[in-house]
Each structure stands twice: as C-alpha cells, then as structure tokens.
Structure 1
Amino acid sequence: MSELTGTDQRTVPRAMLALTLAGVCCSALLAALDQTVVGTASLKIVQDIGGQDGVRYLPWMTTAYLLLSTSTNPLYGKVSDLYGRKPAYFFALTCFLVGSAFAGLAGGMVELIAARAVQGLGAGGLTVSFIAIVGDLVPPRERSRYMSLFVLIYGSSSVVGPLVGGFLAQSHSFFGLTTSWRWAFYVNMPFGVLAMILVGVAFKVPHRRREHRVDYLGAALLVGGLSTGLLAISWGGQKYPWTSPLILGLVTAAVVLLAAFLRQETRAAEPIVPLRLFTDRTFAVGNVVVFLGTNGLLIGTILYVTLFLQLVGGLGPTAAGLSLIPLSAGMVVSSLVVGRLIPRLGRYRVFLLTGTALATTGLLLLSTLDRASTSWSLAAPLAVVGLGIGSTMTVLSTAIQNSAPPGQIGVASSSVTFFQSFSGTVGTAVFGAILTGIMSAQLGGASGAHVVNGAAPNVALLHTLPPALQETVLNACTAATRGVCLVAAAVALAAFCLSWFVKDKPLASRSR
C-alpha cells in the first residue's frame, strides 16, 4: 500500500507522509530536549556568564521559555487553521532557531534570557504543528499510530536530555573542536534547518484561504492572562509567599484578563478559542483528563522520585536520571502498542481507562517506598506509571482531534499541547508545595529543611549536618516523597473516573 487518504479524502503519498513526519518529529524532538538539556547545564552556564549575581537570574532561564511556549500554544492552533500549517510551522521553527543562535552567542544572563524567550515563542508552535499536521495527513482511524511518535519523543527526551546536558556541561574535544554548554543551543541549528527543508519540500496539503477577522484583542487578553497566571504559579511558594502582594496581584490580573478573554470570545467573529468546542463532551472532558493525567503526573514523578534517589538513595544526578529509564520505556511501549490497537478495534476509551488505572496503580506502589528503596526496587512501579501515561497521552490526542470539525484541527491540537504544558507547570508547583510542606512539618523548622529547595537536593549541605539531624532529614524526605506520590495517585484516580465520560466516537477510515 503506497498511499493514505488524508484530510478531505485527499490521497497522501507515503513518501510525502514519511518525509513530513521526519521533519516535524525532528523539530518536536529539539523542543522536547531543549528544556531538559538546558536545565541540566544551567549551573555551568551561570558559572561562565552569570557573574556574581548570576544565580538570581537562573529561574528566568526556564520561566522565560515556559511563559512564551505555553501562552502562545492556543494562538498557533488558530493561526494554522486560518493561514495554513506551513506558515505557522516555519514561523515557529525560525523563532526557535534564531533564539537558539543568540542563546549560544550570549555573553550575559540578560541576553540569554531574552534569547530563551524567543526560543519559547517558537517551541510553542512546534508541538502544536506536529499534532495538527498529523491530523491533516492521516485519517482519524489511523492517527493513533502516528500520535504514538509524539509520546516516543517526549518519553525519550526525559532520559536523554539530562544525559546530553550533563555531557555538554563539561568540555570535550572532538576533531579539534571543544564542546561547551553553548553546544546545547548550537546543535539545534543543523537539525532545525533539515526539518525546515523536509517539511518545505514534502508537505503539499493545500490550504483553502477564506475571509476572516483576526481577534487581536482576544489574543492579547489570552497571552496576558496566561502569562500572569503562569508567573504566579511558578513564583508562588518558591520565590515569594502565596499571600505576598505580588503573587496576589498576579493572580488577580490573571483572573481579570482571562474573564475578559472569555467574554471577548463570545462576541468575536473569529474567536481564538471557539468556546462551542467545549460543548462537545469528549473535547471538554478529554482536555480535563489531559490536565490531570499527563504532564503533571509525569513531571511530578520525575522530579521527586529523582530527588529521593539522590538525597536518600545516595545516587548522583546521572545515575538518578538513568533510574527513570523504566518510566520512559513504559511510556514508549504502551504508546506504540495502543497506537496500533486503536485502528484495529476502532475504539479508544478502553485504553484511556486502562492507562489512567495503570498510572494510579503505579503511583500507589511508589507511595509505599521507604529508606531501603533503591532504583531497582522502584523500577517496576515506575514502569507501570509509564505504561499508564503513555497510553493516556496517545488516546487523548486522537480522541480530542476526532471530536473537532476538520476546519478546527489546529485549535483542537493546541488545546492538547496547552493543557499538557499547563499541567506540568501546575504539577511542579503543587507537588513542590506538598513536598516542602510535609518536610517542614516533619522537621519542625530545623535547619535541615534547607537541604531541599524545590526539587533541588543539596547533598553537600546534608553531609554538614550532625548525624542525628541527617537521619531526621532523610526520614522527612522519604515521608514527603510518599506524600507526593499518594496525592499524585489521587489525581490519577480522578482522571480515571472522568475517563468514563469520554465517548467512544467512531473513527472514520477516511477524513470527514
């Protein structure tokens, strides 16, 4: 078989599909790796170009990228529906590559943060474009096969990224060239250009232009509301108390701006996010399950199990990162299997229920860890969590796209990527607050509470404490990690319960 029937019953040659997928997979992988690679190399970056005050700029390396990539997700979906996938994709990839180039050349932290913001502006469109382009090229019944590639990319990047970042943070010589952290940004250039060429040459789906009005006011309100909300979530409880005037002001601004956005969307001739999509039960409930059952659980598991293994298990950062291989492997395996079973059965809800049930079970098993737990004893629970999240992500991408009209595939795709990104931000903040809250309660204000700052274990500080206090801190960290996993299991259980309300809509063999 050499052809597939894509959107509007258009025949899509296999060569075109393969080359286009190679391009969008390449660019999506760059975006997925960027966060973990740069995060691992961040301390080395600050040492090299940060100066005396460099550490205070460190959170902005992530925050600037996160704000732009998450808040622009819905805009890319709408723009690609209005103007076509190629212009939106090329704009996103160009921003990502320009940001990468300037980040690699940065001589100071302010320059680097600005470049990271430009990178984030592009990264938000690369993930949306992947899902939307698959929706254009592949009929609904076959989409899950290709959506599993999305999970493969993000599952593997969570393990590969820290290893690459750790490698690039140290100097190595190859063929007369010496690597440094700057290569974490420069390496994006050749692969990004290759992706642009592949998509430019192979992707030939025509776009039907139509008269439309761009909702500029809605776009501004959405970006403003999401940005202030994300800042509040990122800073609250970490940099500033939740009750501080700044955080309360950001929360108030976010609520006002987003309320104004919703009002604007009811009046706009061409809304950025058509609210009528949320009248479809599968679309609405599916996005809630995306928020509850994907990135928040994944990032919470990665951060706090890794912290436990470093602080309590005594592993180094690299060894702790490698201990997450079962989690990533589980994601990849379940995504590939489910991606092939859905086209054969024509059903997807059973795999969503299975996935959320597995994630709940795995997190409950992780909540039983103790001081004697090792990376080997946690491998099976981590694999179960991975199997659950991988299945859930694959099903939801397919189900949500299938519930949207053909002309709004971009908006549907952006809803998936937005709620995944937002889930990760909220999950990090909430689970971090739970961890520090339990530790503080266990330690009763003892100096050992400073051993954990967010998700960063200070092993050197631990070893300076008296032996009795060290034991107290390790017990507190174990109890706090159990608490995080138990809350995460409750969230996964809520996702399981909501999954019963996702309808098994028919998956057409030919696009509508």
Structure 2
Amino acid sequence: MSPARTKIAFAVCLVTILLAVLDTNIVSAATVPIVRDLDPVHGMDKIPWLISAFALASAAVLPLYGKLCDTIGAKKVFVGAIATFLLGSALCGAAQSMGELIAARAVQGVGGGGLMSVTMVVLAQLQAPGNGGGAGGGRGKGGSIGGVVAGAGMALGPWLGGTLADHADWRWIFYVNLPVGIAVLVGAAMVLRLPVTPVRHRIDFAGAALAAAFSVSLLLVTEWGGKDYAWSSPQILGLAAASAAALALFLRRQTTAAEPILPLSMFKVPAMRLGFAIQGLVGAAMMGTLVYVMIYLQVVRGIEATSAGLYLIPMAIGMTAVGIASERLAARGWSQKTFVLAGSTAATAALVLLATTGVSSSLWQIRGELLLMGVGFGLLVGQLVLIVQQAAPPRQLGVATTGTRFFQTLGNALGTALFGTLLSRVYEAKGPGGSTSGLGALRGPAHASGVQALTTGMDVVFVVGAVLMAAAAVLAARLPRQAG
C-alpha cells in the first residue's frame, strides 16, 4: 500500500473505532423513549436484555474473530463485521416490538464484536514495515489519535443519544450508524490491501462454541445474579456450573485441537500473559467508575440522566489531552510499559479520591477526579494491545489482539458482579428498606439515611476499584523491559 492509501485506510479505522465507542453508551440515554414507544406496559422489564444482548453477542464471537483474521485475512473479517453491524443497526431502527429490537441488538452485537478488536488487527498490519506504516503514523501516532477518538466518542455518546431521543426519534440512534458505516465499508473495500496467509488453516469451531458458551453463561451470571435471581438460586448456580464446565471443556479442547482458537502457548509469553491480566483488571475498574459515578449523580444528587452523562466530558478531555501528548512522550523515550505503569497509577489515584465522595461533595471535585481518571485511562488506551501484538508470533496476531478485548469483556462482567454485590451488601447492612431497589419509596429521614448508605457503598466500590488498579500497576511493573 502506498503512503496515501495507508492514510485513507488509517482514517477508516479511526472512524470505525468511533462507531464502536459511540455504540457502547449511546443506547442507554434512550431507554425510556424506546420503552414508551414499543412496550409501555412491560418494556421496563426487558431493558436489561436490550443492553445485554449486544454485550453477550459481542463476547461470544470475539475468539472466533481473531482466528478468522489469522486464517482468511483481516480485510475480509473487517468488512464482514462492519456489514453485520450495519444490518443489525438497520434492523434495530425498524423494530416494531421489544422482542424484535432485542434480537436485532444481538445481530448488531455480532458485528460490533469486531468493530474494535478487528480494527486493531488492521491497524497493526497497516503500521507494519513495508506497508506505508510511516505515513499512517506508527505506534506513537496511532496510540495518540486512538486516545483522541476514544475520548471524543465517550463525550459524544450520551449527549448524542439524549439529543436524538429528545429532538428526533429514538430510531435515529441506530439509523445514524448507516451513512457513516456505509462510507467506512466502501472505503475499506476499495482501499485496504492487507496480507493473507498462503497456508490453508482449519478453524476450531468446537473451541469457538465452547468459548461462546463460557462467556455467555458467565455474563448471564453477572447480569442476573443478585438482581433478577438470588446468588444462591438454582438459576444462578446452574449458570455458574455451566460456565465452569464450558471453561473446563474449552481448556481441554485447546490442548488437543490441531489449531486452537486461543492457543494456551500464548500464556507462556510473559508480555502476553501480563497484558491479558492487566486488561481484565482495567476492564473491571473502568466499568465500576462509569456505572457508579452515574448512579451517584442521578440517585444521590438528583441529576437527570442526560445531564449526568455530560459529567463524563472531563474524563473524555483527560483521555483526549493525553492522546495528543502521547506522541511527544513516545518520542522522549516512553515505552508501552511506561505508559501502562503511569496510566494504572493515575487511575488508582483517581479511584482513591472518588472513594472520599460524600453526599454533599463538590460536583467540581467529581469533575476533577474524572479528569484524572481520563488521564489514567488515556495513558492505557491501546498500549496493552500493542504490547500483546508485539509479543505475539505474526501468525497469531488476530488471536492475540481479540484476546485482549475478550479479557476486557470478562473483566467488565466480573467487575459488574463484584461491585453490584458489594454495594448491595453495604446498603443492606447500613441502610433502611432492605435493598437499594426500595430507596425511591423512602421519604424524609429514612430517605436521607438510605442515600447516605448508598454513598457509603459506592465509596467501598471505589476502594475496591482502586485495589484492582493498584494490582494492575504491580503487574505493569513486571512487564518485560523491552515492552515498547
């Protein structure tokens, strides 16, 4: 590929990343208009499925996407993922019932699972020597622009979702993907020229099915446990047992398959093993930060959902600023290891500060803490993927790249379950009404006591999040010196 063609391909990848980031948080701002339109009587009970259908489908296909990239080439998988995402978006916009919308979100999730992960494979191949990688910006520039795009998407998502739902129609939350996605699809088909392995490979579909069964059952445990069903209920215990059995069968399959979907040999490489572990910890801590800061703002401080989403702007600014500065930092000798260590340390500090939040804390204090969190996450964006990619054999580039996203997804799920359980336990011990679901019905001193108990529970969540990020920093210090 020529330098000019590589620049266009690089821009296509960045727009794809923006689509991926936007779609993770744009729907949450429109759940009320969706329910009001499609099922005003029973729709609220189906919202968890509307949110989780996308995540479940995305997680299920991640390992398969990586193997397909290594087998048939990243371009075909990239184009296929975008086309599937656009089909799902069109079906979502045309849905006439909550059931149709949930099914369409699953289709969208199948494509969405490749938007971020496969794009990172494409970027790695674009930046490879001999493919005009210098024109695309190389490692430093790729990471910096990626941080800017991720920060912009995080800021735009809630605002765009709320604006479209309030002033247009909730269906445009999905339809807006179509013109942008079609342009990306055409650009990718015309511009991308990526290597394809000349050797015929076999795909371990049995391993992919077991990985999907494990991830889906685990995500359902975290989605339903302590909310729809008690942790000791037969449903949750059965799903947990199914998840454990699927994991055991998957690991056995990976030791016997001729070409495993997630080769266990990767975990023998220190940089890859540590990169996967850190990515999982970061995923858990990031989920705790975003979800529980939003709950604090809406429940404790009484801020509407759309306005609460604007409080993520300082976090996005932090990510964007670091993204802009990271190229200079890389030029001054910062390695990927340095970025990861500095980012996890800054995120730890931000979570420690968030753990001091009280019922009447200054909202500017919250903004400042989210700004620091954005700096931490901005330093981490893309770096772990690069570390894993550089440590992986070329024939396993796709599997290694999607593996980091897979472990982040599992971290998100486990973090959600852990933090939700902690919050419930603290509230049950200190607050009135028995559970957090009864807080809205309380009045007077009982409500004030409940709000205080909820805030205390959130502080515990942030402390645990800080511990997770501190563990990530410890692991980052153990990364090989040559990482980056």
Question: Do the two structures share a fold, i.e. TM-score over 0.5?
Answer: yes
Name the structure 2 match of 1:298: 286
Name the structure 2 match of 1:161: 157
Give the aligned residue type for 1:237. G
1:53-72 correspondence to structure 2 within 5 Å = 53-72=42-61
Q: In the TM superposition, what whole-angstrom CA distance separates every residue of 1:78-108 from its partner, at most 9, and x where no partner exists?
A: 1011001111111111111111111111111
Give the aligned residue type for 1:158. M
Say which SS state the counterpart of residue 363 (structure 2) adopts.
coil
Give the aligned residue type for 2:110. L
Q: In the TM superposition, what whole-angstrom CA distance separates every residue of 1:302-332 from its partner, at most 9, and x where no partner exists?
A: 1111221222223222332212211121122
Give the aligned residue type for 2:466. A
Change in Cα spacing, 1:435 to 1:48, as seen in structure 2 (3 Å) is: same
Give every structure 1 segment of 4 or more consecutive aligned residues whose post-TM-superposition deviation is greater than 4 Å: none
- Which whole-Å CA distance do the structure 1 matches of 2:146 and 2:58 have between them? 17
1:475-494 correspondence to structure 2 within 5 Å = 475-494=452-471
Q: Is the contact between residue 323 and residue 375 of structure 1 (CA under 8 Å) also seen in structure 2?
A: no
Q: 1:449 aligns with which of 436, 443, 459?
A: 436
- Which whole-Å CA distance do the structure 1 matches of 2:169 and 2:219 have between them? 31
Name the structure 2 match of 1:229: 218
Q: Is the contact between residue 22 and residue 195 of structure 1 (CA under 8 Å) also seen in structure 2?
A: no
Change in Cα spacing, 1:92 to 1:397, as seen in structure 2 (3 Å) is: same
Q: In the TM superposition, what whole-angstrom CA distance separates every residue of 1:340-383 from its partner, at most 9, and x where no partner exists?
A: 43355262212221111111111111111122213212222221
Name the structure 2 match of 1:500: 477
Q: Is the contact between residue 330 and residue 386 of structure 1 (CA under 8 Å) also seen in structure 2?
A: yes
Name the structure 2 match of 1:119: 108
Name the structure 1 match of 2:147: 151
- Which whole-Å CA distance do the structure 1 matches of 2:384 and 2:323 have between them? 11
Q: Which runs of 5+ in 1 are unaligned?
A: 1-11, 173-178, 453-460, 508-512
- Which whole-Å CA distance do the structure 2 matches of 1:34 and 1:220 have between them? 25
Shift of 1:203: 0.9
Shift of 1:488: 0.6
2:203 is the counterpart of 1:207 = no
Give the aligned residue type for 1:249. G
Q: In the TM superposition, what whole-angstrom CA distance separates every residue of 1:164-219 from its partner, at most 9, and x where no partner exists?
A: 1111222x3xxxxxx20011111111111100111111111231331222212111
2:412 is the counterpart of 1:416 = no
Q: Is the contact between residue 327 and residue 385 of structure 1 (CA under 8 Å) also seen in structure 2?
A: yes
Give the aligned residue type for 1:169. A
Give TM-score scaled by structure 1 length.
Answer: 0.89
Name the structure 2 match of 1:404: 392
2:183 is the counterpart of 1:194 = yes
1:313-462 correspondence to structure 2 within 5 Å = 313-342=301-330, 344-345=332-333, 347-443=335-431, 445-446=432-433, 449-451=436-438, 461=440
- Which whole-Å CA distance do the structure 1 matches of 2:324 and 2:230 have between them? 43
Give the aligned residue type for 1:468. P
Q: Is the contact between residue 328 and residue 383 of structure 1 (CA under 8 Å) also seen in structure 2?
A: yes
Q: Is the contact between residue 210 and residue 247 of structure 2 (CA under 8 Å) also seen in structure 1?
A: yes
- Which whole-Å CA distance do the structure 2 matches of 1:335 and 1:22 have between them? 16
Q: In the TM superposition, what whole-angstrom CA distance separates every residue of 1:377-433 from its partner, at most 9, and x where no partner exists?
A: 222222112111221233212111111111211111101211222222222222122
Q: Is the contact between residue 221 and residue 261 of structure 1 (CA under 8 Å) also seen in structure 2?
A: yes
Name the structure 2 match of 1:241: 230
Name the structure 2 match of 1:6: none
Name the structure 2 match of 1:474: 451
Q: Is the contact between residue 134 and residue 143 of structure 1 (CA under 8 Å) also seen in structure 2?
A: no
Q: 2:15 aligns with which of 14, 26, 39?
A: 26
Shift of 1:472: 0.5
Name the structure 2 match of 1:4: none
- Which whole-Å CA distance do the structure 2 matches of 1:89 and 1:384 have between them? 34
Name the structure 2 match of 1:288: 277
Q: Give me the CA root mean square deviation.
A: 1.9
Name the structure 2 match of 1:312: 300
Shift of 1:467: 1.5
Shift of 1:40: 1.3
Q: Greater shift after overlay, 344-353 or 256-265? A: 344-353
Say which SS state the counterpart of residue 358 (structure 2) adopts.
coil
Change in Cα spacing, 1:216 to 1:365, as seen in structure 2 (3 Å) is: same
2:105 is the counterpart of 1:109 = no
2:85 is the counterpart of 1:96 = yes
Say which SS state the counterpart of residue 505 (structure 1) adopts.
coil
Change in Cα spacing, 1:472 to 1:283, as seen in structure 2 (3 Å) is: same
Shift of 1:448: 7.4
Change in Cα spacing, 1:149 to 1:249, as seen in structure 2 (3 Å) is: farther
Give the aligned residue type for 1:367. A
Q: Is the contact between residue 75 and residue 194 of structure 2 (CA under 8 Å) also seen in structure 1?
A: no
- Which whole-Å CA distance do the structure 2 matches of 1:139 and 1:342 have between them? 18
Q: What percent identity do the matched residue pairs reach?
A: 36
Q: Is the contact between residue 22 and residue 198 of structure 1 (CA under 8 Å) also seen in structure 2?
A: no
Q: Greater shift after overlay, 343-352 or 110-119? A: 343-352
Q: Greater shift after overlay, 68-77 or 330-339? A: 330-339
Q: Is the contact between residue 337 and residue 476 of structure 2 (CA under 8 Å) also seen in structure 1?
A: yes
Q: Which runs of 5+ in 2 are unaligned?
A: 130-136
- Which whole-Å CA distance do the structure 1 matches of 2:240 and 2:139 have between them? 38
- Which whole-Å CA distance do the structure 1 matches of 2:236 and 2:449 have between them? 32
Shift of 1:51: 4.5
Q: Greater shift after overlay, 488-497 or 305-314? A: 305-314
- Which whole-Å CA distance do the structure 1 matches of 2:227 and 2:341 have between them? 35
- Which whole-Å CA distance do the structure 2 matches of 1:256 and 1:88 have between them? 30
Q: Is the contact between residue 215 and residue 410 of structure 2 (CA under 8 Å) also seen in structure 1?
A: no
Q: Greater shift after overlay, 295-304 or 135-144? A: 135-144
Give the aligned residue type for 2:154. S
Q: Greater shift after overlay, 198-207 or 332-341? A: 332-341
Give the aligned residue type for 1:466. R
Q: Which has the higher helix share?
A: 2
2:252 is the counterpart of 1:256 = no
